[in-house]
Chains A and B, each alone.
Chain A
Amino acid sequence: MMNYIWGGMMIFSFISAIFTGNMQPLSDAVMNSALDAINLIIRLTGMMCLWSGIMRIAEKSGLTVYISRCLGFLFSRLYKNVDKNSKTAEAMSMNITANLLGLGNAATPLGLEAMRRMQEENGDKTRATDDMIVFVVMNSSAMRLIPTTVAALRTQAGSASPMEIMPATWVSTGLSLLAGIFAAKTISAIMSQKSSGIIKLKRGVKV
């Protein structure tokens, strides 16, 4: 899927540039974006190292165990193959906690740690598991309680009440999380039903 989207974006850009006459800006964008990516990575590197290090302290000291116990009720419902007492569940709960606190920079390294642990138990290393999909969908929608960046920008723009949008944000985030998880789980269920159906069909033929 990412293959088509990625390729599609570039091919579509090229065709658009022919019609809009933006070939020179397009050519510049190729060079500049690659540089932007490196700038972004440099900014990320410090944060990644910092929060990965702090996470390791939380893990070694046993703090993550407490937090994952608090969030344990989530795991049995959301994830099929994640044991709520496992290291994976610990990394996942730290990721969710960081997200809720609005620590986006901390959430990413924690989430990637959870991905690495899920990947260790993944039979097909190139294929996403159902649990991974739910987890990535959750991380691709916002789980933060306080939209700090938005509030800061609203203050800057002279809003009378920068935080007034919070309840509306919670409702929107909640609905979008539900929709994402529902879509991921439903499609997973349909797919597994289909594939088990095919196996049954094949068995039927053999018998």
Chain B
Amino acid sequence: MKLFGAFVIPFVIVFIMCFGICKGTKIFDCFLEGAKGGLVTVKNILPSIVGLLVAVGMLKASGGLDIIVKLLSPIGKLTGIPEEIMPLAVLNPISGGGALSMYEMILEEYGPDSFQGRAASVMMGATETTFYAIAVYFGSVGIKKTRHTVFSALMADFVSFVASAWTVKLFFGS
């Protein structure tokens, strides 16, 4: 499995290169053209990323995040998400880096093969940083009215949080 993981990226790149050469594509010219486009994309998403990271940084530093976790912990009890990983569930949609370090802390504290460790692992594997994705995707094309995207995406997150606790119970017993 580890070996497979190392294979994916080089294989994908080499495969695309070979395909291009076989079809007679000028691969380096195409690459440069595309890479230039990538640069424009980065420029377009920069403002959204600055805005989002500052707001998330403020929320963490002020202790506001801890307050939100406390406020939401009854929901955790109702839905079967273990109390110890509720902070991860709250952090997950807003901050990718924050969620990752929280996840490492949980692994260290409870062990990767405990109920908490497994549920946290499934939660991490089954979600992306929702607000980051929304900010970057809509920010890149200048869309301001995101309509019901946030609601739908949070709905998906909520289901994956609850499901990660329940699937671990189902697959591993405890």
A and B: bona fide binding partners? yes
Binding site for B on A (CB under 8 A): 1-2, 5-6, 9-10, 12-17, 20, 22, 25-26, 28-30, 32-34, 36-38, 40-41, 44-45, 48-63, 101-104, 106, 108-109, 111-113, 115-116, 118-119, 124-128, 132-133, 135-137, 139-142, 144, 146-155, 157-169, 171-173, 175-181, 183-184, 187-188, 191
Nearest B residue (CB) for A105: B9
Nearest A residue (CB) for B143: A128
Nearest B residue (CB) for A136: B137
Q: List 14 A-B contacts (CB under 8 A).
A: A14-B62, A15-B64, A34-B50, A48-B42, A61-B30, A102-B8, A128-B149, A133-B152, A136-B149, A148-B5, A150-B121, A153-B112, A154-B112, A181-B152
User: Could you tell me if B53 and A34 are in contact, using CB atoms closer than 8 angstroms?
Assistant: yes
Q: Which residues of B contact A48 (CB under 8 A)?
A: 38-39, 41-42
Given known A33-B57, A56-B30, A112-B140, contact A173–B152 (CB-CB < 8 A):
no
Q: How far is the CA of A141 from the CA of B167 in the complex (A)?
A: 17
Q: How far is the CA of A41 from the CA of B122 in the complex (A)?
A: 28
> What's the A-B contact tally at a CB cutoff of 8 Å?
367
Q: Which residues of B contact A187 (CB under 8 A)?
A: 148, 151-152
Q: Which residues of B contact A132 (CB under 8 A)?
A: 137-138, 143, 149
CB under 8 Å from chain A, chain B span 51-68: 51-64, 67
Please report the total number of B residues contacting A with Cβ < 8 Å. 103
Q: Which of B17, B37, B141, B150 contacts A1 (CB 8 A)?
A: B150
User: Could you tell me if A142 and B148 are in contact, using CB atoms closer than 8 angstroms?
Assistant: no
Q: Which of B5, B38, B156, B172 contacts A151 (CB 8 A)?
A: B5
Given known A141-B153, A159-B112, A179-B155, contact A153–B103 (CB-CB < 8 A):
yes
Q: Which of B37, B54, B108, B134 contacts A37 (CB 8 A)?
A: B54
> Does B127 belong to the interface (CB within 8 Å)?
yes
User: Could you tell me if A41 and B42 are in contact, using CB atoms closer than 8 angstroms?
Assistant: yes
User: Could you tell me if A25 and B61 are in contact, using CB atoms closer than 8 angstroms?
Assistant: yes
> Does B78 belong to the interface (CB within 8 Å)?
no
> Does B86 belong to the interface (CB within 8 Å)?
no
User: Could you tell me if B33 and A1 are in contact, using CB atoms closer than 8 angstroms?
Assistant: no
Given known A17-B64, A29-B57, contact A159–B113 (CB-CB < 8 A):
yes
